[in-house]
Amino acid sequence: MSYAPQVVLLEFNELCPSFLSDFISRGLLPNFKALYEDATIYITDADEDPPNLEPWIQWFTMHSGLQYDDHKVHLLGDGRKFDGPLLAQLLSDAGVRCGIFGSMNTNYEKLDGYFIPDPWDTKAAAHPSWLAPFYDTVAKQVQESSREDSFTKADMAKFGMFLAQNGLKMSTAWNAAKQILDEKKTNGGVHWRRACTLEHLSYDLFRQLNKKFDVQFATFFANSTAHFQHYYWRNMDPDPFQIPPSEEDHPSLKGAIQYGYESMDRLIGKVLADYPDSTIILATALSQQPWDTKKCTFRPRGFDELLAFAGVTDEYDVKPVMAEQFHVVFEDAAAARKNADKLAALHVEGSDELMSVRVEDNQLFSGCSITDYGYLDKPVTNSSGDQKRFDELFYMIHGLRSGRHHCDGAFWVRNGKHRIVEQKIPLVHVAPAILNEFDTPVPDFMLTSDADLHRLEESPVPA
């Protein structure tokens, strides 16, 4: 029995069409080049402006076939609140076996196949449940990626055992071991490469699950390079920025973005080798551009310490999300409302708001609102009048931002014919096109048209 999916959707978050073109022309991305030359090439248009130009909005748009004004999914985690079926659920309900590996901000639960949520989803569970050890470890590692001690030796041993039993290749294991050795040699200087290593470990499991469940539609989400672009663009090219890279930055960060693209190129090579007859789709949803800003992001040094300083005494559980954001889960809604006031009462000299706080039933969704490193030595005051220095409570994640979002995204469909489509296509056309590929009815709520993407043309695999 064949286990190659009919369609493989590679969700490589925020890759830039300009970088792809440049790196391919320099001979750095041979596998991207092979895919490009065998594909129809589109540019997608997110058709949104800030603050609605965010990956957790655009990826939801792609999976729902709805513009933001219609789906209103604004925050990471809000996708789970959406009531309607998304792309993979529609396919699964129609009898198409699906494998969803990390797609961002969805509402999937149990599919005919498997589902691994995105690592920032605090309310989801992997399906089947035996995938939980993998998902829980990855979620912890990603949510605490700014801490170098977030992955203990015990975590590493359990994670390695699970992977070894579920498709891990010796070459991938060797590269992971080499990453650990390189971190020791550089005193943690190349710790940032760990995100790429995790994606290759994840891909081995992805390949194994596709075979085990004989899926017909599979997605694989990867975020490492988007992160590198956000934080290390000024290291790669200081010219567009007034503030140069910090002298404390490790020299390897100058090549971080290129390293990310080359790592994803190796992933592309694996996909092309594993699924030579499948329709391969590369999607980025949006992209990035250089951003000359002083914006930075702060996270609590210790959640317990911050909440205790705020005066929180009720039992709670903290679930980090992305960057500065986190959930605080209480026993009931009354406790959440009471403690929301305590957290919101924190203030720092020179700013109207220290913490953003939103009550969601028995949970708080919160994060530090300060984005200027000039606040590091300023006093923070709680509702009792006690004070602590800002940098006693918070630390800066990664450094100054240097990349921001752009509405253009790459969308390549390997269908055996190289063609460049000049007209940009809306993200909302992607889900209907994939449904059409499987002869699955497109629901009335999805926005469709007679645009060029209405069906993935000349697919090498019959629907």
pLDDT digits (tens, 9 = 90+) for 156-171: 788 999 999 999 999 9
Residue 6 burial (C-beta neighbours within 10 Å; 0-12, 13-18, 19+): buried
Confidence (pLDDT) at 378: 94
What does DSSP assign to residue 440?
P
Confidence (pLDDT) at 461: 37
| 3-state secondary structure at position 385 | coil
At 181, list the tokens: 């050795």
Name the residue with higher pLDDT: 342 or 372: 342
CA gap 358, 365 in Å, rounded: 5
Question: Cα 167–173–175 angle (5° rounding)?
Answer: 135
Confidence (pLDDT) at 315: 95
Question: Residue 444: inside a domain, yes or no?
Answer: no
Question: Residue 443: inside a domain, yes or no?
Answer: no
Question: Residue 192: inside a domain, yes or no?
Answer: yes
Co-location of 422 and 283 in the same domain: yes
Co-location of 23 and 153 in the same domain: yes
Co-location of 244 and 161 in the same domain: yes
Report, in this order, helix, strand and coil percent for the chain, each rounded to 5.
40, 20, 40
Confidence (pLDDT) at 372: 87
Question: What's the whole-number mean pLDDT along residues 264-273?
Answer: 98
Co-location of 28 and 80 in the same domain: yes
Question: Residue 448: inside a domain, yes or no?
Answer: no
Co-location of 321 and 428 in the same domain: no
CATH of the domain at 116: 3.40.720.10
Residue 109 has a CB neighbour count (10 Å cut-off) of 12
The rounded mean pLDDT for the chain is 92
CA distances from 188 to 139, 149, 181, 302, 307 (A): 21, 11, 10, 21, 30
Question: Residue 460: inside a domain, yes or no?
Answer: no
Identify the domain containing residue 374 by its residue range: 298-396
Confidence of residue 462 (pLDDT cuts 50, 70, 90): very low
What stretch of H or E contains 226? helix 224-236
Confidence (pLDDT) at 463: 34
Co-location of 308 and 166 in the same domain: no
Confidence (pLDDT) at 157: 84
Strands across the sheet with 387-389, in order?
A: 347-348, 379-381, 387-389
Question: Residue 229: inside a domain, yes or no?
Answer: yes
CA gap 305, 395 in Å, rounded: 13
- φ, ψ at 76 (rounded to 5°): -65, 120
Report the predicted TM-score, pTM, of the whole model to 2 decimal places: 0.90
Which residues sit opposite 99 in a β-bridge? 114, 218
The pLDDT tens digits for 295-353 are 889 999 999 999 999 999 999 999 888 778 899 999 999 999 999 999 999 999 888 78
Co-location of 279 and 305 in the same domain: no
pLDDT of residue 150 exceeding 80: no
- Which are the contacts of 242, defined by CB distance < 8 A and separation ≥ 6? 292
Helix axes 194-213, 132-143, angle to 10 degrees: 160
The pLDDT tens digits for 8-56 are 999 999 999 999 999 999 999 999 999 999 999 999 999 999 999 999 9
Least confident interval from 231-245, 296-310, 381-395, 443-457: 443-457
pLDDT of residue 257 exceeding 80: yes
Co-location of 387 and 421 in the same domain: no
Co-location of 389 and 344 in the same domain: yes
pLDDT of residue 1 exceeding 50: no
Confidence (pLDDT) at 237: 96
Confidence (pLDDT) at 260: 98
The number of folded domains in the chain is 2
Co-location of 262 and 312 in the same domain: no
Confidence (pLDDT) at 391: 94
Around 272, how many Cα atoms within 13 Å sit in the side-chain half-sphere? 21
Question: Residue 463: inside a domain, yes or no?
Answer: no
CA gap 44, 286 in Å, rounded: 8
Q: Are strands 279-283 and 7-12 parallel, antiparallel or unpaired?
A: parallel
Question: Residue 462: inside a domain, yes or no?
Answer: no
Question: What's the whole-number mean pLDDT along residues 190-207?
Answer: 97
The pLDDT tens digits for 121-141 are 988 899 999 999 999 999 887
CA distances from 399 to 16, 261, 298 (A): 21, 21, 10
pLDDT of residue 455 exceeding 90: no
Co-location of 248 and 311 in the same domain: no
At 165, list the tokens: 């039993």
Co-location of 391 and 373 in the same domain: yes
What stretch of H or E contains 325? strand 325-330
Question: What's the whole-number mean pLDDT along residues 428-453?
Answer: 81
